[in-house]
Amino acid sequence: MENLLANSSEPRTQPVALHGAVLRLTDIEKVYQTKTIETVALNRVNLTINRGEFVSIMGPSGCGKSTLLSLMGLLDEPTSGVIEVDGRAVTSFSDRELAGLRNLKIGFVFQSYHLINDLSVVDNVEVPLLYRPGMGSKERRKRAVDALDKVGLSARTGHFPSQLSGGQRQRVAIARALAGGPEIILADEPTGNLDSVMGEEIMGLLLDLNRQEGVTVVMVTHDEHQALKTERVIRFFDGSQVG
Amino acid sequence: MLLSYLKIAWKVLMRRKFFTFINLFGVSFTLMILLVVMAMFDQLTGNHAPEKRNDRMLFISRITEKMRGEDGWMMNPVSSYFTDTYVRPMHTPALVGLTSIVSNATAFTSNKLLPLDVRYTDGNFWQIMEFDFRSGRGLTGAEVKQAAPVCVLNEATALTYFGTTTDVVGREIEIDLKRYRVAGVVANVAAAHLFSYADVWLPCTLSKDYGGAGRLEGSFIPILLAPSAGQVQAVRDEYQQVMARVPISDPKHITNLYSNADPIMASISRELMPMKHGLDGDGLAQFYLICTALALLFMLLPALNLVNLNVTRILERSAEIGVRKAFGATGTHLVSQFLVENVVLAVVGGLLGLGLAAGALALVNESHVLAYANFALSGSVFGWALVLALAFGLMSGVYPAWKMSRLNPVAALRGSGEQK
């Protein structure tokens, strides 16, 4: 398996393919309601993410970026509006169907990695494959090792998260997101906890994944510099798309 | 997937050693007590020598007379006259044996006084019970009929009195100033065997209570051996018909007579359950129900404690739950994972409890609280230990697991315990 890190410094090429919308959000509203107060987190958002795109979402804290990412990742339900994945509206999907869809189509990368400390690196990467019906342990292990190979950590399979640096942990998290062969990777400030050198390394990895594997990437970031490396920047302010 | 669950279960248990210790202590201590009780119960009611045919044996442990004009009851063992007149002529039992309740006697060795528990029996008793003979034989019908001065000793008495257990048969022992020839020596019988235990067994015809013409009450317990376990009920039914024919000796004072031929458990439940004089069954079902309820209640308290600890533990692991949900785990996956973790803990606790129970039983056996106690963990007790451990694991795991599966993934990833 090709090591993507090795190519991260090369000039960018065009995305592999653009075959229509992989994610479409129509008239999405998300309102958080307590007894006394109603907070509009997202206000009539219309957004299409095309297959093979690398999109970054920017905006100040509290503008609804992470809420948007949760909705795109089918981790949360909108108050109103329609989310379509591969052209299918998921509004009426049961929890079980949503879980299945997440497992097959979506990989997550979090700012604070969220690795399971009790599991070794390779066991962490296997987590999405545990929920893949009918997949045996050998196949899981092979895919996990392949994914770790892609992020340049195949030598660390037996390590535990506590034995790795921040950058390495995020690479494990990316390998985990990749292991299930998702169409979309949703990254919530993936470089937010890293210094600039490691941040560049992770960004390069995501760019290469997008470019070479054709994986659609949606990244929430505060970092203008990183955002500008992506094909499209969507800006949010107070729950609304402003650019 | 199970391997992965087991792996993480083990890691989690090892990581939180104090939590694991508290959990294991709760589980193993509770199970230890339940297993000790079960082992005692098993000894009491299981098919162990000499009561190897417990499934076919019925005991007439008392006759109850209801007194006229007051709420009084007289409860006594029956007489040998009652046995000979009403029980022995029964058709359904394969054998009718007789034993007395245990009485005290004394023997003197060269240097000390030897208190003994004596039981008077007939010849059939030795055919119904299966004693473990070290030497010699049991009492014969002919010896009993002739009121021959013979006896059977247990090993401990033979050893204390003669200083040996071999070459004792044929020698004489003096008990309460009377001399008896030893017919046989048997392995010690634990006092838990209510209807066979003794230090010395003598012919029933030598008992001062033997006979008692016309009297129903005495100091004897007839033992009926059904031809097969399936015919136990037929024997019980016939005994009821017999009881209906027994005349009341003193109608002025007594209005009704009740007596039952009960299997070992029913004879115990009839003693323990209040006012079961044959009017409304032997109370066995209620007895089992109460025992089960008590056992569950006993397990419930530590289980609730575990539930509480588990719920807290889940909140600590909310990020893991969030990650698993994000990557496609369904509620069922998470419930199974958590139940596996809890059941692993409970089974480890169960095994520890089994070890503790074995230790506790050894202590009870050593302490001589109960004469010749030889409580042991049988295969069935081991099986029960596993069943109880699993029940414990499930009882304390289901609610926290369900709560875990309901965590909102977004909130879980933020580390808060918000529910869906």
Q: State pLDDT tens for residues B228-239.
A: 999 999 999 999
**Whether residue B77 sits in one domain with residue B37:** no
In a domain, B251, yes or no: yes
Give the single-character DSSP code of B329: -
Closest CA of chain B from A38, distance in Å: 18
Contact A103 B327 (CB under 8 A): yes
Which range among A189-193, B190-194, B352-356, B400-404 shows the weakest confidence by mean pLDDT?
B400-404
Q: In B86-122, which residue ranges form alpha helices assigned H by DSSP?
A: none
Cβ–Cβ of B328/A137 closer than 8 Å? no
Facing residue for A75 by CB, picked from B15, B330, B410? B410
Cβ-defined contact of B326 to A108 (cutoff 8 Å):
yes
Which whole number is the average pLDDT over B120-136? 95
pLDDT tens readout for residues B265-320: 888 888 777 655 555 577 788 888 888 888 888 888 777 887 887 788 777 788 88
Reading the block at residue B146, the tokens are 């002739």
Give yes or no: residues B171 and B248 share one domain: yes
B247 found inside a domain: yes
One domain, residues B25 and B65: no
DSSP B122-186: -HHHHHHS---EEEE----HHHHHTT-SEEEEEHHHHHHHHS-SSS-TT-EEEETTEEEEEEEEE
Inform me whether the C-beta atom of residue A32 falls under 8 Å from chain B C-beta atoms.
Answer: no
Decide the pairing of beta strands A240-241 and B200-203: unpaired
Alpha carbon distance B264, B120 (integer Å): 20
d(CA B136, CA B185): 6
Based on the fold, state whether residues B75 and B20 are members of the same structural domain: no
Which residues does chain A have within 8 Å of residue B322's beta carbon, measured at their own beta carbons? 114
User: How far apart are alpha carbons B326 and A102 in whole angstroms?
Assistant: 7
By the CB < 8 Å criterion, does A75 face chain B?
Answer: yes
Q: Do B323 and A127 touch (CB under 8 A)?
A: yes
Q: What is the pLDDT, as a whole number, of residue A15?
A: 43
Residues of B in contact with A100 (CB under 8 A): 328, 330
Q: Residue A214: CB partners within 8 Å, gap ≥ 6?
A: A15, A16, A17, A51, A52
> What pLDDT score was predicted for residue B416?
52
d(CA B261, CA B263): 7
Instruction: Give the pLDDT of residue B69.
Output: 73
**pLDDT (0 to 100) of residue A14:** 42
Q: How is chain A split among helix, strand and coil, in percent rounded to 5?
A: 35, 25, 40
The Cα A97–Cα A90 span in angstroms is 9
Interface contacts (A, B; CB < 8 Å):
70
Contact B336, B405 (CB under 8 A): no
Cβ(B93)–Cβ(B228) under 8 Å? no
A141 and B CB contact within 8 Å: no
| Local structure of residue B273 (DSSP, 8 states) | S
Asked if A102 and B413 come within 8 Å (Cβ–Cβ), the reply is no
What's the pLDDT score for residue B417?
A: 47
pLDDT at B109 over 90: no
Beta-carbon neighbour count of residue A142 at 10 Å?
12
The distance of A103 to chain B (nearest Cα, Å) reads 4
Whether B216 maps to a domain, the answer reads: yes
In this prediction, residue B6 has a pLDDT band, given cuts at 50, 70 and 90, of confident
- Determine, yes or no, domain membership for B420: no
Q: ω before B222 within 30° of 0 (cis)?
A: no
pLDDT in tens, chain A (243 residues): 445 544 444 434 344 444 588 999 999 999 988 888 888 889 999 999 999 999 999 999 888 888 999 999 999 999 999 999 988 999 889 999 999 999 999 999 998 899 998 889 999 999 999 999 889 889 999 999 999 998 899 899 999 999 999 989 999 999 999 999 999 999 999 988 888 888 898 999 999 999 998 999 999 998 899 999 999 999 999 888 887
Question: pLDDT over 90 for what percent of chain B?
Answer: 39
Q: Name the β-bridge partners of B151.
A: B182
The beta-carbon neighbor of A102 closest among B327, B333, B413 is: B327
A128 Cβ under 8 Å from any chain B Cβ: yes
Within this chain, do residues B228 and B127 fall inside the same structural domain, yes or no? yes
Contact A96 B330 (CB under 8 A): yes
Tokens representing residue A27 in the block: 């008239």
> Does residue B142 lie in a domain region?
yes
Strand B150-154 versus strand B200-203 pairing type? antiparallel
B91 is in which domain, residue-wise? Answer: 57-262
CB of B50 closer than 8 Å to CB of B184: no
Q: Looking at CA atoms only, how far is residue B333 from chain A in angstroms?
A: 8
Q: Considering its fold, how many domains does chain B have in total?
A: 2
- Comparing alpha-carbon positions, the chain B residue that sits nearest to A173 is B323
Give the whole-angstrom CA distance, residue B380 versus residue B365. Answer: 20
- Answer yes or no: do B40 and B166 share one domain: no
* Structure tokens that stand for A225 in this block: 């510099």
The reply to whether B25 and B88 lie within a common domain is no
Angle between the N-to-C axes of helices B331-367 and B284-316, in degrees from 0 to 180, rounded to the nearest 10:
130
Q: Which tokens belong to B311?
A: 């719920």
Which contacts of A198-205 are long-range, i.e. CB under 8 A and separated by 24 or more positions? A198/A165, A198/A166, A198/A167, A198/A170, A199/A223, A199/A226, A201/A5, A201/A8, A201/A167, A201/A171, A202/A167, A202/A170, A202/A171, A202/A174, A203/A229, A204/A5, A204/A8, A204/A9, A205/A4, A205/A5, A205/A8, A205/A151, A205/A171, A205/A174
Quote the percentage of chain B above a pLDDT of 70. Answer: 96
pLDDT per residue over B130-159, tens digit each? 999 999 999 999 999 999 999 999 999 999
User: Is A99 in contact with B325 (Cβ distance < 8 A)?
Assistant: yes
- Whether B182 is covered by a domain: the verdict is yes
Give the list of residues 6+ apart from residue A188 with CB closer than 8 angstroms, or none. A66, A69, A108, A109, A110, A111, A220
- The residue in chain B having the minimum alpha-carbon distance to the alpha carbon of residue A106 is B327
* Same domain membership, residue B320 and residue B351: yes
ipTM of the complex in this document: 0.90
The reply to whether residue A180 touches residue B7, judged by beta carbons under 8 angstroms, is no
In 3-state terms, what secondary structure has residue B381? helix
Asked if A131 lies within 8 A of B329 by C-beta distance, the reply is yes
Distance from CA of B330 to the nearest CA of A (A): 6
Q: How confident is the model at residue B274, as a pLDDT?
A: 66
**Residue B201 is assigned to a structural domain of this protein:** yes
Residues B212 and B290 reside in one and the same domain: no
Q: A130 and B331: CB-CB below 8 Å?
A: no
CA nearest A49: which of A222, A198, A234, A224? A234
Q: Are residues B108 and B231 in the same domain?
A: yes
Distance (Å, rounded) from C-alpha B182 to C-alpha B409? 80
Whether residue B73 is found in the same domain as residue B184: yes
Q: What is the DSSP pairing of strand A80-85 with strand A21-33?
A: antiparallel
Tell me the HSE value of B3 on the side-chain side, using a 13 A CA sphere: 8
d(CA A109, CA B152): 83
Please identify which residue in the block is written with the tokens 């503790």.
B356
Instruction: Search chain B and give the residue with CA nearest A113.
Output: B323
Domain A4-241: give its CATH code. Answer: 3.40.50.300
**B278 in a structural domain:** no
B297 and B255 share one domain: no
In angstroms, the first-to-last Cα distance of chain B is 26
Within 8 A of B331 by CB-CB distance, chain A residues are 95-96
Angle, in degrees to the nearest 10, between helices B17-45 and B284-316: 170
Give yes or no for A138 touching B (CB within 8 A). Answer: no
Residues of B within an 8 Å Cβ radius of A: 1, 3-4, 7-8, 11-12, 15, 319-320, 322-333, 408-410, 413
Which of B214, B230, B262 is the C-terminal boundary of a domain?
B262
Query: Which of B208, B228, B262 is a domain's end point?
Result: B262
